[in-house]
């Protein structure tokens, strides 16, 4: 199945949010949509995200959308390894709320497309994609399934505590099915704190998959396979491959 | 694909070990073999084990074998809810070694069958199947993949400590790929102790899948799917479905 890639732009409250929509070249009808939030220092078309987007389109026939997070990608100035600008992001008081609003405006815009089934929307984001994803998924009832992980309440960075406070308040409000990835030797988010975040997620239907290795060593193809196995039965319909 | 079910008996050191072999009705050549160890108070043809055996045969074309554990099934006297006889099993000094030897004798016998590929053998056992499985997999190099879980170093039973001591010594000797299941609210083996056992498994290629719910609430069909997804690439050959 061919994959169409279309850039888009959403305007919201003076912000320009650049995004990409990947979709099946030929589709029998409206497709489920997976919103993909990239990791820290990444951008909407990062290598792993791009590979996964293409696989989700080809193997499931779903549409996939990614946007640049605040201060990332075309919204700079964060470029690896610019830790100062990255850290500054977490000290802005409105970072979480802006990011949730950016995603919600994006979802509003994409829901208007006839190719998108706005009743079947998932969010997928690890690491910073979960730091932003927890408040988003907690707040947005249109998101029916979420894949989260590589994130938790504890880690070596001093910023973790502030983020953990927000996550602790919002994780229990997540009620949709959640697949959560943990790297057993994660050096950025300690294992126990990741278990604690998973424990706090309010969903009855949740799964934790742990793999050996450091934060950056999640096996991408296996994570995609697990994502597909998790999404497919929860979005099942005659349209799927 | 049709499934053939054949009872067998292995004699070892005065013990009679009753077993069942499930295999594909039609096979293109020798099949991988999955040894399935049942849980406490169970027996070789328990409902979940039988369903999984049939699925592994049908979906992978593998052979599956189960035996009655010591004092279980046809080797009585343990019948649910006979906790006294069950507890007594763990106070016999040779329980682990007898059980490993029983499985090894079973594997010897099945390896002589032309339908079995003795180079591709897996062990699958949860709860008591892991209590016996850890020493077995650690000791038996013919076992190339293992699925373990619902077990760990800590729990409410006073017997756990003795078993944990043995597991702590032997888990690091396991080096084959391991898929490990944890029930998040396991009341028989505490979550943290299950994580600790997984942590001690020596394999580089290991995975932990955690599901919500109590000890007995592992979703069986999902566990079978995960087992298949784990075994298939590690035993891949042209013979597989």
Please tell me the predicted confidence (pLDDT) of residue B236: 87
Closest chain B residue by Cα to residue A204: B212
C-alpha A134/C-alpha A206 separation (Å) is 14
Tell the burial category of B93 from Cβ atoms under 10 Å away from its Cβ (0-12, 13-18, 19+): exposed
Say yes or no: B225 contacts chain A, CB-CB below 8 A.
yes
Cross-chain Cβ contact A212/B199 below 8 Å:
no
Find the range with the poorest average confidence among A46-50, B1-5, B220-224.
B1-5
Residue in chain A closest to B202 (alpha carbons) equals A212
Given an 8 Å threshold on Cβ–Cβ distance, is A207 in contact with B211?
A: yes
pLDDT of A237: 59
**Residue B115 scores a pLDDT above 80:** yes
Contact yes or no for B207 and A208 at CB 8 A: no
Mean pLDDT for A153-163 is 82
Q: Under an 8 A CB cutoff, do B209 and A209 touch?
A: yes
Is the Cβ–Cβ distance between A104 and A17 less than 8 Å? no
- The whole-number pLDDT of residue A240 equals 40
- Give residue-wise pLDDT tens across range B100-113: 999 999 999 999 99
Q: What length does chain A have?
A: 241
Instruction: Label residue B78 by pLDDT band (50, 70, 90).
Output: confident
What pLDDT band is residue B140 in, cutting at 50, 70 and 90?
very high
Q: Do B25 and B1 contact (CB within 8 A), yes or no? A: yes
How confident is the model over A11-68, as pLDDT tens digits? 999 999 999 999 999 877 899 999 999 999 999 999 999 999 999 999 999 999 999 9
Residue B1 to chain A, least CA–CA distance (Å)? 23
Nearest Cβ partner of A211 from B207, B225, B229?
B207
Answer yes or no: is pLDDT of A8 > 60: yes
Cβ burial of B207 (10 Å; 0-12, 13-18, 19+) is buried
Q: Record the pTM.
A: 0.93
Q: Is the pLDDT of residue B134 over 60?
A: yes
Residue with tokens 């934060």: A215
The sign one gets for the Cα dihedral A41, A187, B177, B133 is negative
Q: Across residues A144-165, what is the average pLDDT?
A: 89
**Using a CB-CB distance cutoff of 8 angstroms, which residues of chain B are in contact with residue A225?**
229
Nearest to B225 among A206, A208, A229 (CB): A229
Q: Report the residue of chain A nearest B185, measured CA to CA.
A: A199
In terms of Cβ atoms closer than 10 Å to its own Cβ (0-12, 13-18, 19+), residue A114 is exposed
Q: What digits encode the pLDDT tens for the residues B181-218?
A: 999 999 999 999 999 999 999 999 999 999 999 999 99
Best residue of B184, B186, B219 to probe chain A, by most A CBs closer than 10 Å: B184
Q: Is it the case that residue A181 has pLDDT exceeding 80?
A: yes
Which tops the pLDDT comparison, B78 or A74? A74
CB A182 within 8 A of CB A148: no
Answer yes or no: is pLDDT of B241 > 50.
Answer: no
So what's the pLDDT on residue B157?
80
Q: Tens of pLDDT along A55-75? A: 999 999 999 999 999 999 999
Residue B238: what pLDDT? Answer: 41
**pLDDT band at B6; cut points 50, 70, 90:** very high
Q: In this complex, is the C-beta atom of B212 within 8 Å of any C-beta atom belonging to chain A?
A: yes
Strand, helix or coil for residue A131: helix
- For chain B, say whether A211 makes contact (Cβ under 8 Å): yes
Given a cut of 90, is residue A169 above it in pLDDT? yes
Compute how many other C-beta atoms are within 10 angstroms of the C-beta atom of residue A82.
14
Q: Is the pLDDT of residue A168 over 60?
A: yes
Q: Give me the mean pLDDT over the A101-105 stretch.
A: 98
The CA angle A197-A198-A200, to the nearest 5 degrees, is 65
Contact state of A210 with B207 under an 8 Å Cβ cutoff = yes
Contact B207/A at CB under 8 A? yes
**A-to-B residue pairs, Cβ atoms closer than 8 angstroms:** 35
Chain A residues whose CB is inside 8 A of the B193 CB are none
**CA pair distance A207, A178, nearest whole angstrom:** 6
pLDDT band for position B237 (cuts 50, 70, 90): low
**B67 pairs with which residues across the strands?**
B19
The answer to whether the CB atoms of B184 and A208 lie below 8 A apart is: yes
Q: Give the mean model confidence (pLDDT) for residues A168-187.
A: 97
Q: Is the pLDDT of residue B39 over 60?
A: yes
User: Is the model's pLDDT at B222 over the cut of 50?
Assistant: yes
pLDDT of residue A16: 95
- Closest Cβ opposite residue B209 in set A195, A198, A207: A207
DSSP at B152:
-
pLDDT of residue B55: 97
Nearest to A206 among B206, B212, B225 (CB): B212
Is the CB of A208 less than 8 angstroms away from the CB of B204? no
B149-167 pLDDT, tens digit each:
999 999 888 677 788 888 9
**Which chain A residues have a beta carbon less than 8 Å from that of B209?**
207-210
- pLDDT (average), residues B58-71: 97
């Amino acid at each position: 199945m061919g994959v169409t890639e279309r850039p888009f732009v959403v305007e919201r409250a003076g912000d320009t949010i650049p995004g990409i929509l990947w979709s099946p070249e030929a589709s029998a009808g409206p497709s489920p949509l997976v919103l993909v939030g990239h990791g820290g220092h990444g951008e909407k078309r990062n290598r792993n995200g791009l590979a996964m987007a293409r696989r989700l389109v080809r193997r499931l026939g779903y549409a996939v959308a990614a946007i640049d997070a605040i201060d990332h990608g075309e919204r700079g100035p964060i470029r690896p390894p610019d830790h100062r600008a990255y850290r500054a992001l977490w000290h802005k008081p409105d970072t979480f709320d802006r990011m949730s609003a950016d995603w919600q405006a994006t979802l509003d815009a994409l829901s208007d497309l006839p190719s998108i089934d706005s009743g079947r929307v998932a969010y997928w984001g690890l690491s910073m994609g979960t730091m932003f994803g927890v408040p988003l998924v907690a707040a947005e009832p249109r998101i029916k399934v979420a894949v989260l992980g590589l994130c938790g309440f504890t880690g070596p960075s001093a910023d973790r505590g502030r983020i953990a406070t927000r996550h602790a308040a919002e994780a229990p409000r997540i009620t949709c099915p959640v697949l959560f990835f943990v790297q057993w030797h994660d050096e950025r988010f300690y294992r126990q704190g990741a278990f604690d975040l998973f424990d706090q997620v309010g969903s009855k239907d949740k799964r934790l998959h742990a793999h050996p290795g450091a934060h950056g060593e999640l096996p991408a193809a296996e994570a995609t396979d697990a994502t597909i196995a998790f999404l497919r039965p929860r979005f099942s319909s005659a349209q799927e491959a």
